[in-house]
Amino acid sequence: MNNPEAILQHERVPQFACNWALFLDVDGTLLDIAQNPDGVTVSRELHSMLEVAHHLNSHAVALISGRNLSDLDRLFGPMHFPAAGQHGLERRDSLGHVTRATDRLNRISLAARALEQAARVREGILVEYKGLSLALHYRGAPELREWAEFTMRELLNRLGPEFRLIAGKMVYELKPGGRDKGTAIADFMMESPFAGRVPIFIGDDLTDEDGFTVVNRAGGHSIKVGHGDSLARWHLCDAHSVRRWLTAYIEFLKLGKL
């Protein structure tokens, strides 16, 4: 392929460069959103693409997700990529060292028990307790959106000002404040192999806006997937478009190695 970017002519994306640090959201970005978070699968093709990109990009590729690290490893293993899980509450650097914000574990655990009890009698509602954060999915019962928001705001009031409520695509999530996808990207950018490179972050949801803010301030490229207002400066249509973009980027990197 003499011009890898030719397949992206109808997308609004930056011109490829060989000095990028690549940060990728997972659900809705690399992967199509499923009815249930456990219902997604990662194709062998995507596994291979990420491993090749990681190798060709001098290992400066990281996953930035709302999922926890163990879930990311289940999906993308046996490769253990540098990654930020639970919206930055846990992070694994390129050497495999993991740091976690564990100072408010007891309170989020008690909130999880209360939420599971409240959701038990509501069909289509899914509670996802990730250890450091707590999500309430209503994709299976969209008519319960107001109940979901009210319930999570009540829990937020109980947890106190140190916690934050995040609204996503058919989900509300409670997490300790002070850490987010933006702070995770900023931490990566202070470490090898990301330091000195231009940050690129691709995401699709409201929870990715923190990452877009950090990348924009650093003079990088923020890419929004799908519709909706965003601070991102570039745009891809959907997860399929992201995978096509990643294919083209890999071809660009291969040409640079010739």
Buried b / exposed e over 130-146, threshold 16 CB at 10 Å, is bbbbbbbbbbebeebee
Q: Which helix (H) or strand (E) holds 220?
A: none
Check the CA dihedral 207-212-214-215 and report its sign. Answer: positive
At position 23, the amino acid (one-letter code) is F
Number of Cβ within a 10 Å radius of residue 113 = 11
Phi and psi based region of residue 170 (left: phi greater than 0; alpha: psi -120 to 50; beta: remaining): left
| CA separation for the pair 221, 199 (Å, rounded) | 6
User: Of 25, 27, 205, 208, which is the active-site residue?
Assistant: 25
Q: In this structure, are residues 211 and 188 in contact, taking their beta carbons and an 8 Å threshold?
A: no
Residue 48, judged by CB atoms within 10 A of its CB (0-12, 13-18, 19+), counts as exposed
State yes or no: is 238 an active-site residue: no
Q: Which residues are catalytic?
A: 25
